Amino acid sequence: MYDKRQKAIQNALNQNNLDALFVTNFYNILYFTGFRTLVPHEREAYALVTKKSTYVFSDGRYVDNNQFPISKQTSNSNKPIFKLLSPKKGLMKHLKEIISEEKIVKMGFEREDLKWSEYNTFQKTLGVELIAQDRVGIKIRAVKDTQEIGKIQKACEIGDECLHDISKTLRKGLTEKEIVWNIEKWIRDQGYETAFDPIVAVDANSAVPHYDPKNGNGRVKRGSLVLIDMGVRYEGYNSDITRMFFMGKQSDEVLNAYQTLLDAQTKTIQHISKIRKSSDIDIFCRKLITENRLPPYPHSTGHGIGLEVHENPKVSGTSENILVPGNVFTIEPGIYIPGKWGMRIEDTVLITSDNKIKMLTAYPH
Amino acid sequence: MYDKRQKAIQNALNQNNLDALFVTNFYNILYFTGFRTLVPHEREAYALVTKKSTYVFSDGRYVDNNQFPISKQTSNSNKPIFKLLSPKKGLMKHLKEIISEEKIVKMGFEREDLKWSEYNTFQKTLGVELIAQDRVGIKIRAVKDTQEIGKIQKACEIGDECLHDISKTLRKGLTEKEIVWNIEKWIRDQGYETAFDPIVAVDANSAVPHYDPKNGNGRVKRGSLVLIDMGVRYEGYNSDITRMFFMGKQSDEVLNAYQTLLDAQTKTIQHISKIRKSSDIDIFCRKLITENRLPPYPHSTGHGIGLEVHENPKVSGTSENILVPGNVFTIEPGIYIPGKWGMRIEDTVLITSDNKIKMLTAYPH
């Protein structure tokens, strides 16, 4: 599996006339090498893919003799070669050694991930030509293989089941925090992980698309409108779904808006069958809301999903992505009336190898 | 509170001859403005501190009329001024407007946080002198005020209580994953959050300092050695503690090593009363292990803790930090015998305003 993925980078090396690519993105390192540190926003590992080999660099805290044996590795091995970072031999020493051994002249780096200070150190130390690369790993990851699709599908199915059970527990008096905790407990009790901290937003709180229930005090009342945005992580792969729950009779304003939103989302998913340009899909969906005199939503229409909850392809007005088979992404328009209510409907969809649109989330709308 | 913090940056502006500092670090934005997005590793907000004002930039997904009212704000207000990012008016347009209004010429940025691509865009677009700054916000955050210390103290106390209850549930047959989940459930059931995913490592797994129980299959047996590294987040502030639990009689090798480790940790904490240089503390602690013919641990002796689990001051051999009153940090030496067993003892300590060392974690060793 990693062989195939490393070949994909090596093709990119050839295309971009590079001798190596230095990889810092947490999920790209995981994707290309299988190596994973504990916290995505703490820099504790690096990778380097050359024309001959793939190297992972990390420190003694992660040394695991089973997964990444340090000894007995040669650069002919198919597995990534683990290089131990220590106070005596840090990243720069290791890189200089490999650069010299493999005669690396042009080294690409991830322009959207490398920090200014890292670039600065490289420039002063390495003596190679540093060439900014635009989302190499991210673009490769956007096309999922059968195994990855299977994992996302399974994550979506677990999410559907969770929503099914949670919907039965919704009742007057529950706080947003309690519902969040019920969702998390359900997922963990089944032995899975959450894809992200669930968003549960009641009534006016649902008008804030990225509402954080940790900082709120919402509570379900008779007639409340409840937005639940949640996902499951299954073997590293994520699902994402948003549904609205109405706790009793709603005003015509709310019901009409919901119907408009549902129509817009359904038609947009049908529209993908005909059009492959992300930005057109975004514009199409947005228009179905605004032509009904409802306000445009302040976020993109969708996002790719996989190892990360938000990845390529982006479905937004400024996206340059063209959707292709193997892409998995969400379609999630919303309607938000600040201070009053908000709603969003989100599903995870796949473009199959025979170019059809498949809904991976199936919980009823 | 934010007034005082913003003044601290403004002092830094004067000292470093800057007109403004552009802030991208998730926790620095939170610390200086109170604004928090959902996921630390996704860039969804920015801040700019000038000599006159503090600005926060984020998009419509976070608009909350209560917390950050967009209208009715003037630059004379003490509160951060919220600037809404939209497809029509993005970050560059907003920054250029402020740069022109406030006549900003020299703009600092966080060298350890800004991405290469962000720097590149700034350089092409903004027409200001961009000056790399070394951990400005991180250094300010390293000295905690009374309120922050109170929150960390409380987080430590909750952690102690959790360990007390969890220790009673440890028994033969439990998997690492089950113990992790019991810890998480305990914390969440009390209405708090975990500081990080707890590490529970049984027997040989404990020899990997950053062992991830999600990827393992450890299970408690008769005579097992169990390492638990966990923390609590209370009102945004974290605690961190590691304890060893012995499920029955241990070999002399293990018992002697434990005694050496405990002595080393105790003496190091006493040593801080005399010495303030982080690197000396690291060397002191390490020597107490190695002079007993035990292997040096492959991580630093400790780390600052606060809004982040790992922050300044660092207690490592290469650290330049001098410890001062208000610093809160861990002391956590370990002994790891790959393939056999590992152990670590970790406490969170404070340097008080009268220059004394106070243990914030109190669960018995």
Angle between helices B176-189 and A176-189 (to 10 degrees): 170
Q: Which helix (H) or strand (E) holds A202?
A: strand A199-202
d(CA A25, CA A40): 9
Residue B162: inside a domain: yes
Q: Does A71 touch chain B (CB under 8 A)?
A: no
Whether residues A117 and B109 touch (CB distance < 8 A) is answered with no
d(CA A227, CA A310): 20
Whether residues B125 and B156 fall in one domain = no
Residue of A29, A61, A297 to mutate when probing chain B, most B C-beta within 10 A:
A61
Q: Does B339 touch chain A (CB under 8 A)?
A: yes
Residue A330 main-chain phi, psi, to 5 deg: -100, 155
Q: Name the residue in chain B with its Cα closest to that of A308.
A: B42
- In the block, tokens 């005003």 appear at A251
Q: What is the mean pLDDT of residues B216-238?
A: 96
The CA-based dihedral angle spanning residues B286, B291, B295, B298, taken in that order and rounded to the nearest 10 degrees: 10
Whether residues B279 and B266 fall in one domain = yes
CATH of the domain at B351: 3.90.230.10
Non-local (6+) Cβ contacts of A71 within 8 A are none
Whether residues B136 and B152 fall in one domain = no
Q: Does A2 touch chain B (CB under 8 A)?
A: no
Of A60, A298, A317, nearest to B298 by CB-CB distance is A60
Domain endpoint, select from B122, B141, B160: B141
Residue A365: inside a domain: no
d(CA B3, CA A252): 46
Min Cα–Cα distance to chain A from B332, Å: 13
Min Cα–Cα distance to chain A from B77, Å: 23
> Cβ contacts (< 8 Å) between B339 and chain A: which residues?
65
CATH of the domain at B137: 3.40.350.10
Min Cα–Cα distance to chain B from A13, Å: 20
Domain total in chain B: 2
Question: Quick one: pLDDT at residue A215?
Answer: 86
The CA-based dihedral angle spanning residues A352, A356, A360, A363, taken in that order and rounded to the nearest 10 degrees: -170
Whether residues B109 and B215 fall in one domain = no
Non-local (6+) Cβ contacts of B103 within 8 A are B19
Distance of CA A245 to the CA centre of its chain: 25
Residue A105 main-chain phi, psi, to 5 deg: -110, -45
How is residue A284 written in tokens? 């199409």
DSSP state of A310: S
Contact in structure between A180 and A194 (CB atoms under 8 Å): no
Whether residues A163 and A136 fall in one domain = no
Question: Quick one: pLDDT at residue A147?
Answer: 96
Q: Name the residue in chain B with its Cα closest to that of A339.
A: B65
Exposure string of A120-130, with b = 16+ CB inside 10 Å and e = fewer, is eebeeebebee
Whether residues B132 and B154 fall in one domain = no
| CA B230, B232, B237, B243 torsion-angle sign | negative
Nearest to A315 by CA among A263, A268, A363: A268
Angle between helices A252-271 and A278-290 (to 10 degrees): 160
Q: Does B71 touch chain A (CB under 8 A)?
A: no
Non-local (6+) Cβ contacts of B91 within 8 A are B46, B57, B85
Whether residues B34 and B79 fall in one domain = yes
Categorize the per-residue pLDDT at B77 as very low, low, confident or very high, splitting at 50, 70 and 90.
low
Residue A192: inside a domain: yes
> Cβ contacts (< 8 Å) between A36 and chain B: which residues?
212, 215
Q: Does B59 touch chain A (CB under 8 A)?
A: yes
User: Can you give the residue range of the structural domain that contains B319?
Assistant: 146-359
Question: Quick one: pLDDT at residue A76?
Answer: 47
Q: Does A209 touch chain B (CB under 8 A)?
A: yes
Question: Quick one: pLDDT at residue B63?
Answer: 80
How is residue A212 written in tokens? 């954080």
- Tens place of pLDDT per residue across chain A (365 aa): 788 898 899 999 999 999 999 999 999 999 999 999 988 889 999 999 999 999 999 998 888 755 554 444 444 456 889 999 998 999 999 999 999 999 999 999 999 999 999 999 999 999 999 999 999 999 999 999 999 999 999 999 999 999 999 999 999 999 999 999 999 999 999 999 999 999 999 999 999 999 999 888 999 999 999 999 999 999 999 999 999 999 999 999 999 999 999 999 999 999 998 899 999 999 999 999 999 999 999 999 999 999 999 999 999 999 999 999 999 999 999 999 999 999 999 999 999 999 999 999 999 99
Residue B365: inside a domain: no
Question: Quick one: pLDDT at residue B62?
Answer: 86
pLDDT tens sequence across B240-296: 999 999 999 999 999 999 999 999 999 999 999 889 999 999 999 999 999 999 999
Whether residues B127 and B152 fall in one domain = no
Contact in structure between A224 and A247 (CB atoms under 8 Å): yes
Whether residues A309 and A204 fall in one domain = yes
Q: Would you say residue B74 has pLDDT above 90?
A: no
For chain B, list the strands marked E by DSSP: 20-23, 45-50, 54-59, 81-85, 106-110, 129-133, 193-194, 199-202, 225-230, 232-234, 237-238, 241-246, 302-304, 311-315, 328-331, 334-337, 341-344, 347-351, 357-359
Q: Does A89 touch chain B (CB under 8 A)?
A: no
Residue A364: inside a domain: no
d(CA B282, CA B277): 9
Whether residues B212 and A38 touch (CB distance < 8 A) is answered with yes
How is residue B98 written in tokens? 């402020």
Q: What is the mean pLDDT of residues B79-102?
A: 95
Whether residues A253 and A113 fall in one domain = no
d(CA A45, CA A104): 21
Nearest to A92 by CA among A62, A67, A57: A57
Distance of CA B21 to the CA centre of its chain: 22
DSSP state of A98: H
> Cβ contacts (< 8 Å) between B113 and chain A: which residues?
115
Min Cα–Cα distance to chain A from B58, Å: 11
Question: Quick one: pLDDT at residue A70?
Answer: 47
Q: Give the number of A-B residue pairs with CB atoms closer than 8 Å.
A: 119
Categorize the per-residue pLDDT at B342 as very low, low, confident or very high, splitting at 50, 70 and 90.
very high
Whether residues B298 and A63 touch (CB distance < 8 A) is answered with yes
- Sheet of strand A225-230: strand arrangement: A199-202, A225-230, A241-246
Whether residues A173 and A130 fall in one domain = no
Non-local (6+) Cβ contacts of B189 within 8 A are none
Chain B residues 223-252 with CB within 8 Å of chain A: none
Non-local (6+) Cβ contacts of B239 within 8 A are B152, B155, B156, B158, B159, B195, B231, B232, B233, B305, B348, B360, B361
Whether residues B217 and B233 fall in one domain = yes
Residue B80: inside a domain: yes
Q: Name the residue in chain A with its Cα closest to that of B85.
A: A298
User: Using omega within 30 degrees of 0 as the cis cutoff, is the peptide bond preceding A69 cis?
Assistant: no
Contact in structure between A336 and A316 (CB atoms under 8 Å): no
> Cβ contacts (< 8 Å) between B117 and chain A: which residues?
111-112, 132
Domain endpoint, select from B141, B156, B187: B141
> Cβ contacts (< 8 Å) between A197 and chain B: which residues?
38
- In the block, tokens 């050694």 appear at A97
Domain endpoint, select from A140, A172, A190: A140
Chain B residues 252-291 with CB within 8 Å of chain A: none
Residue B14: inside a domain: yes
> Cβ contacts (< 8 Å) between B297 and chain A: which residues?
60
